[in-house]
Structure 1
């Protein structure tokens, strides 16, 4: 690797000086020299270049630990946990480009104390490098208001811990006439002096205001998640049991989660149609699903004019039999490499006709039967339909899908938005800009939109993931992790648990679907079971999380007033009542989802 004279001088300065200093850096002066790629991906997709390892490879098992290890539970299932939170996490994000930057989060965190002789950091900082004191085994939340001296361009934040690794902590699209908020972060595995700086792919100077870098121990970070879980995923419920119109005291109850609550699902393949053991394993765990390929255009009309919905229809019928909700994936895929030959060869007019036929066919065929539509898949990385039909192709397609099937939430769906901050195509700010473009298209006001994040991880940068979710959640539409997987490696199980806990523990995330469909010849990225449907270690951690997030009190009983109160996860529960006065147990299903907290069982 060639190093320019300017870059060499800069590196020497960093080595020589202790404490805080500011020095001029050319745009792009520091680079990790890694190119972004799609980590994981859908089963039929090409595997792109290995994505840059932005996060520290050390994610503490302590942070991913079972919540029950940190919580002592009362008999009613409520928590008596002592909070580990010293500094609350700030989930807020302003997604507007503003004339004046807001105050720094956390009062600047450790940046406010970064000093030379105790002086506070001057602002704005133009292309500067900051020395910061970093602790070992901490997650650092980064935020900053940024702008350029001219034009528009991407600004990337880089953190260099004491071990010398370059971690891309976040990136945004910045302008010259207003300030944009960047949220991200990094994880440290060493202690000592580190560097924080910004770089841009434009020729403009970078200006930064209200920079904040707040450190959290892994225990604190996990405590933030648990606070969200307690507030957003659980609630105090009251079940009253009556017999002959009178309270039934000292009744033994059995409470079992059966449906609803926080959506946690998985992808499924057509092999499930011919394998009862696959069907049984899947239905026992998941009430939400995505068909991996069966609904895609190349699966239903590989040859022009010859439509085939038989496989998808059978898979949908199987899902309905088990009360499994299905996401419609997808109406169109914006990647040219996944168009059929006959589609790729069409001119604009003929393509427009083919798009209209496909849209009407698949959406009317499954209208009222799916909960979501991934409308134009991956339209930040790829632009097949925009290049052929115009820049508003996605907006037009969203409008037409909503006309034919108005109930489902209509999703964009992208990879690397929360996985890889060095991939500049799907940055959170660009995702929101594309969503706003679709929303602003004539006729699209008031449609039900969703943000789909594929979540194909290699080594997750958990602070960046959280900061990006903060930004995306500020758009005010449901956020789902739609295709979660982690590539194989010695820490695959640990990384998957961290990603799942981070998603479940974020207030903006409304559902998670994994991309771990079983294949007879081997799973694409992540398998939960072997070919006999015995759990692999990755499957064990998923089962552990399912058990934890659907946990109910042991041996509950009604009190003297016939009442049982407990803290339960949102959901629909099967309650079995046993009492010496009853000839046989009474079984009733009660809905205790997010909007309901009381139920009465009459014996």
Structure 2
């Protein structure tokens, strides 16, 4: 019956997601009718996230002790759970506590399967309400499905409110719907008018050549290869296929100062200069990396005072040293999955400090959070959204959200879009920072790349895609690349990506000019070179940028007879 209702509402355009939880807002007044709490107590309290009350969870005996509810689900369907939590206490020695959304699946054979639906590793006391959640694909042999809250430390008490459990709907006509969004989102209007009515415009044309895309088309690069003349084929492929570069390892602290006191910036700085010389833009990756195994080992035994001083020096050297050259910086990589600097400095908000200090060192650079398991997995989507929202509310100069996108088939494009939509609720620009599709099946890889590029390019919050390396000779995933072999030859995936970003999603047109009418063109946003030609000869060139507001071009003619001259091109 539910599936029939979903179908009817979706085709009529009246769909509104149904919350399948009973008393998810805890307003009904009778907790035990909908919720259970194994080895814990629940009471209602007026301290709420929404509505008039929330549930207070006390006297927990085990880590799994928390509010639980059996939810009606359909096998083979995907669902999402969200709620808001506020800690009431924090144990000594802990900077924060991790909250897990757990599930208990009873299969048709009667066996239980426990799994994690979503993780929020860094919930702090005194920071108010935090969003928690996750999504999950229901196994085909599911008999019952229960969702519950888990915190490893039973002594932690908390409030819970605004809980939802909703189906993640499949996508219908994905490609055509994405193409419709692309037409509306990525294009703007160009109007071309002719001034000087006494001039004969016969043979007069305007060429529109798109020289740069507003949408970021980028790849990670090897800093040594991009400056080494023996890798000319590598350089040529990059320069011909991408407009942004990201030195993948050379700017990391472990790469620039593997031995304490002996920093080496010459290679990455030379790579940045080479990219700029070729007219490319640069994304910096990364200033800090919170995962301990990627931290220089000489930092392990530093005192908190000494380490923080070294961190400030690091910002001045690498960010200050490249000031004005980089468009973006990934500030503290993967800090949902590591907390070396938080634990070492005993400061749960050290990443906020990193952002503020980096902004001081280069105010023009856009600063990014960057993490994984955000769209390719159900675990960390909502924790990332909550982190970005918290940073934004706290006045931290976060300029964007970096979403890694390391994919392994099968890829559920509806799930990827759902997770992307959730992160977009932070209201910050998104860049897909590390895209690859790891499979030996060339046709499957090409199809998945095409779907992902189309999804990301059609999403209003996404500003660009960074391919995580393009060549099989320089990557940790040689089956995930766009080009292979010593000649760096594009494979099926590379050819389809090239066709999309340099063909289908690029405007290069020749338009005849006429007295009879203005010309109206829908063109992809970006930077352009306009050339006015008379019988194929260029008689005027102008550069312009096409943004959301569109552009009006007036070609002003002078001269007489059949030999017009373009006195000016007015760009309004």
TM-score, length of structure 2 as denominator length: 0.72
Q: Distance in 2 between matches of 1:591 and 1:245?
A: 30
Query: Is the Cα contact below 8 Å between 2:86 and 2:129 reproduced in 1?
Result: no
Alignment correspondent of 2:493: 538
Q: What displacement does 1:540 show?
A: 1.2
Q: Distance in 2 between matches of 1:593 and 1:550?
A: 15
Q: What displacement does 1:242 show?
A: 5.2
Q: Larger relative contact order (C-alpha < 8 A, sep ≥ 6)?
A: 1
Quickly say closer, same or farther: Cα 1:483–1:87, change in 2 above 3 A: farther
Does 2:359 correspond to 1:417?
no
Q: What displacement does 1:362 show?
A: 0.7
Quickly say closer, same or farther: Cα 1:578–1:315, change in 2 above 3 A: same
Q: Deviations over 1:476-528 (max 9, x none)?
A: 21111111111123232222222222211211112211102436466535222
One of 392, 399, 421 as aligned partner of 1:470: 421
Alignment correspondent of 1:43: none
One of 185, 203, 210 as aligned partner of 1:232: 185
Does 2:82 correspond to 1:127?
no
Quickly say closer, same or farther: Cα 1:149–1:601, change in 2 above 3 A: closer
Q: What displacement does 1:411 show?
A: 0.9
Aligned residue-pair number: 480
Q: Deviations over 1:22-58 (max 9, x none)?
A: xxxxxxxxxxxxxxxxxxxxxxxxxxxxxxxxxxxxx
Does 2:285 correspond to 1:375?
no
Q: Distance in 1 between matches of 2:538 and 2:250?
A: 46
Query: Is the Cα contact below 8 Å between 2:75 and 2:138 reproduced in 1?
Result: no
Quickly say closer, same or farther: Cα 1:486–1:584, change in 2 above 3 A: closer
Q: Which moved more, 1:445-454 or 1:533-542?
A: 445-454
Alignment correspondent of 2:342: 386
Query: Is the Cα contact below 8 Å between 1:250 and 1:559 reproduced in 2?
Result: no
TM-score, length of structure 1 as denominator length: 0.68
Q: Distance in 2 between matches of 1:562 and 1:389?
A: 68
One of 108, 128, 141 as aligned partner of 2:18: 108
Q: Deviations over 1:55-86 (max 9, x none)?
A: xxxxxxxxxxxxxxxxxxxxxxxxxxxxxx94
Q: Distance in 2 between matches of 1:161 and 1:453?
A: 34
Q: What displacement does 1:347 show?
A: 2.4
Q: Deviations over 1:442-469 (max 9, x none)?
A: xxx2624211111111133322322222
- Structure 1 residue matching 2:489: 3-state secondary structure: coil
Q: Distance in 1 between matches of 2:542 and 2:526?
A: 14
The residue correspondences of 1:90-489 to structure 2 (distance < 5 A) are 106-108=16-18, 127-132=69-74, 142-143=79-80, 146=83, 153-155=99-101, 171=118, 184=135, 198-201=147-150, 211-213=165-167, 215-219=169-173, 221-241=174-194, 248=201, 251-269=204-222, 270-273=224-227, 274=229, 275-391=231-347, 392-422=349-379, 427-439=380-392, 445=395, 447-459=397-409, 460-489=411-440
Query: Is the Cα contact below 8 Å between 1:249 and 1:562 reproduced in 2?
Result: no
Quickly say closer, same or farther: Cα 1:149–1:552, change in 2 above 3 A: closer
Quickly say closer, same or farther: Cα 1:106–1:196, change in 2 above 3 A: farther
Q: What displacement does 1:414 show?
A: 0.5
Q: Deviations over 1:183-239 (max 9, x none)?
A: 757699x9x9997653544599999866443644541x3344233322221122213
Query: Is the Cα contact below 8 Å between 1:228 and 1:505 reproduced in 2?
Result: yes
Q: Distance in 1 between matches of 2:359 and 2:500?
A: 35
Alignment correspondent of 2:468: 515
Q: What displacement does 1:353 show?
A: 2.1
Quickly say closer, same or farther: Cα 1:474–1:168, change in 2 above 3 A: farther
Structure 2 gap segments, 5+ residues each: 4-9, 23-32, 36-67, 89-97, 557-565, 567-572
RMSD: 4.2
Higher strand share: 2
Q: Which moved more, 1:246-255 or 1:456-465?
A: 246-255
Q: Which moved more, 1:565-574 or 1:208-217?
A: 208-217
Query: Is the Cα contact below 8 Å between 1:575 and 1:587 reproduced in 2?
Result: yes
